Every structure is written in C-alpha cells, then in structure tokens.
C-alpha cells in the first residue's frame, strides 16, 4: 500500500473546483485545507463532489484564535471551539482531521489534562483525528512529548518536524529520543523541510539544503517503517511549503524566492519516487 498525497490549500486563492483540478494535474490524491477556508465555506457541496471523484479530504481544525493561539484563550475556550469544529467535520466525511489546539504557554500538567479532554472529544466523533506537532501548541516542544504520549496512549499524531527544528534549534533525526518516542503514533505527515533557524528552507532540492532534506526523509522513513511493522497503513503526506512568513523573500521587494505550487508539486513527485524505491528495497 502506498501513501496518500494531499494538496495543501494553505494560501490558495481559487475555488474548490480549481483546487481539485490543480491537485489532479500535480498527481495528488486529495486536498488538505482548514475547515474555515474560504473556498470550502463558499462551496457546501464541494466535499461530496470530491468523494464522488474518489478524492479524499484532510481537514484542519485550529482553535484559540488562529495558527498562533491567543495567550488569553483558556483551556475551556479551546475545548468548546474544538468540539464545535469537530462536529462540523463529521458531516463532511473527511479522510482525516488534523488538530492544532492548546498552548505551549501552559504548564505541562495542564497540557496533559487538556489533551486528555481534547482526545475524548475527538474519539467521540468517530473520525480519524491526529494532533499536530506545531509550534505554540501543546505538542510543539520535542523534549516534553514523551510524558504526554505515555499518559495518552490513544493520541495520534500529525508530524511536522519543521516546527521542532526551530524550537530545538537543530535538525530532527531518527536517533533523537522524541522522534523515536513518536514514531508509532504518526498517521499523517506535513512534508515541509525546516532547518535549525527556520521552519522552511528556500527550496528543498537546492544543494545547500541537502542535509536538511535527508534528515527529514530519514524520520519520515522511520514513521513509515513503524507503520508497516505494526500492520497499519503508511502515513499520508501533505507537502506543505507555504507563505505567511515561511517562504523567504527578497529584500525591498518582498518577492518570494521560489514558487510554492512548483515546490509542493515537486515534493509530491519526489515522495512518490521515494515510496517506490522503499517498496523495491522491501521486496529485494
């Protein structure tokens, strides 16, 4: 079984129909987008059309006022918003829901009790839900994830190691304890390449970033190998190079140094080749 590849609508300005056409041209299997994305809000029948065409959907649920949560938002407010958004997801029948919730500003014990309640809300929906290792969130720090996972055996993960690169100021590699601890929990991967000083390299295939790409790939391969070992489907992937301060820009003009659609499509094609190579290696 090969991994599903999803086209990210982060920063995408067109309609849901155009997004699907773009994804199909790029060889993606489906779409990933925030449940509050304008193109989804404007096209209530869009998810049904995606299913009719055999294109799965990954929905993102974000609580607390945006991708960076407001510090004044309480755990109770996060949970109330999470419950409402998860219920909206149910009717859209997504392949998966990725959740960004909670805050890294809370004490660890508070994060643990919060995630237990958040997990209960997710499990009650019957959806496949994974919680993202995103900066500023409860899972945003690699060095504190072990006790959280130990306390919450049902917690599944969307791995975005680029965030951990920034907060730890080092590349994530398979030998690191947090990567080993999380390896059996990863169901979905945001395939963006970070570096020790930022969440996104200028271009993943530029030779100066070969080391960062290799480090991320080694972790992704570990997650896939662990899934195969336990008899689970391989993690799905979303190439997620994006705008909003992630893409470096030229001084004075603020022009991006590379094209996001080109990069994400190239990453998807490259991942397909990596999957094929791994399959050949397993059979030999």
pLDDT tens readout for residues 189-226: 999 999 999 999 999 999 999 999 999 999 999 999 99
Distance CA 128, CA 157 (A): 11
E strand or H helix at 112: helix 108-125
Q: Give the model's pLDDT for residue 209.
A: 98
> What is 6-283's CATH superfamily?
Divalent-metal-dependent TIM barrel enzymes (3.20.20.150)
Residues 23-75 pLDDT 10s: 999 999 999 999 999 999 899 888 888 888 999 999 999 999 999 999 999 99
Which of helix, strand or coil describes residue 284?
Answer: coil
The lowest-confidence range among 92-106, 189-203, 211-225, 267-281 is 267-281
Q: Give the model's pLDDT for residue 136.
A: 97
Dihedral angle sign, alpha carbons of residues 276, 278, 283, 284: positive
Span 99-110, mean pLDDT? 98
Six-digit token pair at 273? 């080749």
pLDDT at 282 over 80: no
- 89, burial (CB in 10 Å: exposed 0-12, middle 13-18, buried 19+): buried
pLDDT at 261 over 70: yes
- 192, burial (CB in 10 Å: exposed 0-12, middle 13-18, buried 19+): buried
pLDDT at 279 over 90: no
Q: Give the model's pLDDT for residue 197.
A: 95
283 vs 20, residue with greater confidence: 20
- 19 pLDDT tier (thresholds 50, 70, 90): very high
**Strand 96-100 to 236-238 pairing:** unpaired
Of 100, 94, 102, nearest in space to 58 by CA = 94
Span 273-284, mean pLDDT? 76
Residue 39 and residue 9 in contact, taking contact as beta carbons nearer than 8 Å:
yes
Of 191, 167, 141, nearest in space to 7 by CA = 191
Distances (CA, A) of 213 to 111, 200, 267, 275, 280: 31, 11, 11, 15, 21
**CB atoms closer than 10 angstroms to residue 99:** 28
């Amino acid at each position: 079984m090969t991994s599903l590849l999803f086209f990210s609508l982060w920063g995408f300005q067109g309609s849901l129909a155009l997004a699907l056409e773009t994804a199909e041209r790029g060889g993606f299997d489906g779409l990933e987008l925030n449940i509050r994305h304008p193109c989804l809000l404007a096209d209530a029948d869009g998810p049904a059309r995606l299913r009719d065409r055999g294109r799965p959907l990954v929905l993102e649920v974000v609580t607390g006022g945006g991708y960076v949560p407001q510090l004044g938002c309480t755990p109770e407010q996060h949970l109330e918003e999470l419950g409402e958004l998860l219920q909206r997801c149910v009717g859209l029948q997504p392949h998966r829901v990725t959740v960004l919730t909670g805050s890294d500003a809370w004490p660890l014990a508070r994060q643990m009790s919060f995630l237990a309640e958040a997990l209960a809300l997710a499990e009650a929906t019957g959806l496949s839900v994974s919680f993202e290792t995103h900066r500023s969130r409860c899972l945003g720090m690699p060095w504190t994830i072990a006790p959280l996972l130990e306390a919450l055996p049902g917690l599944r993960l969307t791995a975005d190691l680029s965030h951990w690169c920034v907060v730890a100021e080092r590349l994530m590699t398979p030998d690191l304890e947090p990567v080993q601890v999380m390896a059996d929990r990863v169901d979905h991967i945001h395939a963006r390449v970070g570096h020790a000083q930022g969440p996104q390299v200028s271009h993943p295939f530029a030779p100066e970033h070969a080391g960062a790409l290799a480090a991320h790939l080694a972790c992704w391969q570990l997650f896939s190998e662990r899934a195969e070992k336990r008899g689970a489907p391989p993690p799905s992937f979303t190439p997620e190079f994006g705008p909003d301060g992630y893409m470096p820009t030229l001084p004075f003009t603020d022009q991006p140094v590379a094209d996001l659609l080109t990069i994400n499509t190239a990453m998807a094609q490259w991942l397909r080749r990596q999957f094929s190579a791994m399959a050949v290696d397993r059979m030999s």
